[in-house]
Amino acid sequence: ESGIPIVNDGALTVCSNVPFEPFEYVGEDGEYTGFDMDLSREIAAGMGLELEVQNASFDGLQSGTVLAANQCDLIAAAMTITPEREANLAFSDPYYDSLQSLLVPADSPAKSLEDMSGKRIGIQQGTTGETYARDNAPSDTEVIAYQTDADLFQALQAGNIDGVFQDLPVNLKHADDKNFSLAGTYSTGESYGLAAKKDGSEKLITEINAQLAEMHSNGKYQEIYDKYFTE
């Protein structure tokens, strides 16, 4: 045994926030799938463990509540490493670089956040997209918080909001639907990390980083990457 304390015997229990395609979503077979889920499953296997996934609100994840409540060992949720979050969480090495973006209906004339003046944009509660939109949208833009990416997308479809501000890969996925298009990308220099409890997770984080490094050198990372990011 590794001597790493885990909440459920025989499993690496991971908390996530679903759906956030292509990082985490429930596939047609009813299983958790996506880039983060495959990466986590591979890490679990490398530790001789099964992967168990728990869905939680993104706010509960980024604040560290789910870890404090021993609901899971690790957060795998396309979560950006930020100094604020590092106060409550221990992050792994970065595993994916991302940007922010604005998604609008295909018939919208909007070409950027500036064009959202007097309009409503939706964001997912507690995300870096929320922070960016609140800091950078015109002062007369109404920024409306939704709990999940699914809620956001539904609101856009229903015309309750005029745009969605969210991580680029996720908005790109929605833009596959010809009724929506990207109206701008924003280089925020974000990198995702897996996260564990701030205290007492040194061994777990060391193990996760070793597994990530191994996956980079044996081609497994690339294989999973290509599965979700190469058309």
Q: Where on the chain is the footprint of ligand ARG (CB under 6 A)?
A: 16-17, 20, 24, 58, 77-80, 124, 127-128, 149, 167
Which lies closer to ligand ARG via its Cβ, residue 54 or residue 210? Answer: 54
Residue 95 near residue 194, CB atoms below 8 Å: yes
In sequence order, the β-bridge partners of residue 12 are 51
Q: Shortest approach of ligand ARG to residue 188 CB, angstroms?
A: 9
Q: Count CB atoms within 10 A of the CB of residue 189.
A: 9
Residue closer to ligand ARG (CB basis): 94 or 210? 94
Q: Is the separation of the CB atoms in 171 and 182 below 8 Å?
A: yes
Q: Which is nearer to ligand ARG, 58 or 95 (CB)?
A: 58
Distance between CA 183 and CA 133 in Å, rounded?
Answer: 14
Nearer to ligand ARG, 48 or 86 (CB): 86
CB 185, min distance to ligand ARG, A: 14
Strand arrangement, sheet containing 163-167? 142-146, 120-124, 163-167, 96-105, 180-192
Cβ closest to ligand ARG, residue 107 vs residue 197: 197
Q: How far is the CB of 130 from ligand ARG (least distance, A)?
A: 8
CB of 34 to ligand ARG, least distance (A): 9
Instruction: Give me the least distance between CB of 76 and ligand ARG, in Å please.
Output: 8
φ/ψ region of 223 (left if φ > 0, alpha if ψ in -120 to 50, else beta) reads alpha
Q: Which of 115, 126, 108, 116 shows the shortest CA–CA distance to 61?
A: 126
